[in-house]
């Protein structure tokens, strides 16, 4: 028996020794690593981005090709690492097909890389994608038809398209801002626990999809929406998340001449009081604006409501939001749920005041 144990020990020792000798020879390939090539200006620019942000940038959806051997006819057999946009924050979507036209001109490639640098300067670290692909065009095909967006956010990949000729800084800033805002909406929507907490505030009380008349204590809202659809709660400001007709908010509508006749109200101060009362009447139920179709009712569901809140938070910032809605407990309860996630988990800076100077100077907010 002792001899048996000794033999087993020798076998185990030999196995361990063999493993130790083999281990240093194991090489794990990193298909997403960008290496430097001083003789290639495009490769150098990609490497600089990778070195600073640890994010690889590609001009092709095929990341790597690996030779795996030969088939029965002696032909080489390869496997490919590719970008797959069908992975989303909500799962794998097989119903969508993505096709690309590549950027091949070096000058256009360099323009696109400059665009990427501006994007990465502005997006928070927790929201940075794992990798970025730059395309001339991106075609998204579904049962409803084809569309060609200028960007698409996947679970791991951001695709930017139609940017090879975009060099104006204001245009880049606007487009990058739009991308980041939509990324925030997607991250919020993808957090099911967060969305459930937000929804519970109003859904448990049965406040979604209700007309303002049935809720009660909304006399100002009901009175003015009956006079004109341009005087609804959806027309309060010419800013997100509101939708005003011809660029005129409710204060302008109330004080403008009606077909050459007298305006609805005598002066701007009265119009401001009407808007303030509408905000307060909605605020007691936790809403910023009304149903998307007419504004004559509360938002249809929590998703619609949540979209309005995120838009308002990003436009107003923490200071502006609190200045306008800080005294309304139900609104602030919902605000805290979303703002904490956006600022803490997503790393978005909300420490600003997006309220207009005109509104800041209005006495009824002081």
Q: Are 57 and 34 in contact (CB under 8 A)?
A: yes
Contact by Cβ (8 Å): 181, 173: no
H or E stretch at 48: helix 41-53
What is the sign of the dihedral through the CA atoms of 351, 203, 329 and 196?
negative
Tokens 């996630």 belong to which residue? 341
- DSSP β-bridge partners for residue 135: 102, 161
Q: Where are the domains of the chain?
A: 41-190, 205-365
- The answer to whether the bond into 241 is cis (omega within 30° of 0) is yes
Cβ atoms of residues 128 and 194 within 8 Å: no
Q: Which helix (H) or strand (E) holds 102?
A: strand 97-102
Q: Return the closest-CA partner of residue 286 out of 179, 224, 201, 175.
A: 201
Q: Rounded to whole angstroms, how far apart are CA atoms 249 and 45?
A: 47
Q: Are 243 and 234 in contact (CB under 8 A)?
A: yes
**Secondary structure (DSSP) of 332-347:** HHHHHHHHHIIIIIS-
- 164: its two tokens: 């090879």
**Digitized pLDDT (tens) for each residue of the chain, 366 residues in all:** 444 443 434 444 444 444 333 333 333 346 678 888 999 999 999 999 999 999 999 998 766 555 567 677 777 765 555 677 766 666 667 788 989 899 999 999 999 999 999 999 999 999 999 999 999 999 999 999 999 999 988 878 899 999 999 999 999 999 999 999 999 999 999 999 999 999 999 999 999 999 999 998 999 999 999 999 999 999 999 999 999 999 999 999 999 988 778 899 989 999 999 999 999 999 999 999 999 999 999 999 999 999 999 999 999 999 999 999 999 999 999 999 999 999 999 999 999 999 998 888 875 444
Q: Give me the helices (H) in 123-258, please.
A: 169-190, 192-203, 212-215, 219-227, 250-255
pTM of the model: 0.83
Rounded Cα–Cα distance for residues 284 and 216 (Å): 11
- Please check whether residue 42 is in contact with residue 107, taking contact to mean a CB–CB distance below 8 angstroms: no
Query: What phi-psi label fits residue 166: left (phi over 0), alpha (psi between -120 and 50 degrees) or beta?
Result: beta
Round to whole Å and give the CA distance between 33 and 49: 11
Spatial distance between the Cα atoms of 85 and 139, rounded to a whole number of angstroms? 12
């Amino acid at each position: 028996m002792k001899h048996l144990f000794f033999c087993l020990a020798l076998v185990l020792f030999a196995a361990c020794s063999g493993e130790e000798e083999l281990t240093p020879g194991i090489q794990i390939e990193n298909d997403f690593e960008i290496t430097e090539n001083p003789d290639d200006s495009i490769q150098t620019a990609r490497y600089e981005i990778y070195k600073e942000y640890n994010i690889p940038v590609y001009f092709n959806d095929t990341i790597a090709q690996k030779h795996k051997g030969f088939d029965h006819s002696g032909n080489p057999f390869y496997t490919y690492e590719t970008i797959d946009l069908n992975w989303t924050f909500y799962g794998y979507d097989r119903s969508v097909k993505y096709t690309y036209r590549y950027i091949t001109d070096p000058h256009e490639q360099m323009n696109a890389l400059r665009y990427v640098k501006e994007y990465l300067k502005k997006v928070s670290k927790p929201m940075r994608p794992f990798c970025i692909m730059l395309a001339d065009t991106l075609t998204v095909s579904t049962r409803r038809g084809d569309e060609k967006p200028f960007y698409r956010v996947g679970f791991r990949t951001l695709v930017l398209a139609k940017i090879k000729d975009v060099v104006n800084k204001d245009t880049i800033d606007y487009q990058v801002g739009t991308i980041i805002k939509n990324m925030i909406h997607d991250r919020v929507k993808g957090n099911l626990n967060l969305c459930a907490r937000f929804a519970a505030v109003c859904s448990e009380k049965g406040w979604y999809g209700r007309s303002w008349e049935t809720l009660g204590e909304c006399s100002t809202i009901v009175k003015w929406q009956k006079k004109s659809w341009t005087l609804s709660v959806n027309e309060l400001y010419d800013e997100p998340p509101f939708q005003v007709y011809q660029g005129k908010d409710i204060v302008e509508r109330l004080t403008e001449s009606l077909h050459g006749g007298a305006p609805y109200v005598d002066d701007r101060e009265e119009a401001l009081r009407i808007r303030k009362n509408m905000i307060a009447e909605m605020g007691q139920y936790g809403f910023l604006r009304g149903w998307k179709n007419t504004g004559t009712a509360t938002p249809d569901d929590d998703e619609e409501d949540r979209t309005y809140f995120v838009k308002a938070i990003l436009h107003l910032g923490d200071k502006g939001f609190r200045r306008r809605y800080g005294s309304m407990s139900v609104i602030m309860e919902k605000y805290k749920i979303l703002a904490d996630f956006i600022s803490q988990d997503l790393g978005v800076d909300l420490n600003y005041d997006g309220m207009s100077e005109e509104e800041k100077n209005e006495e009824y907010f002081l």
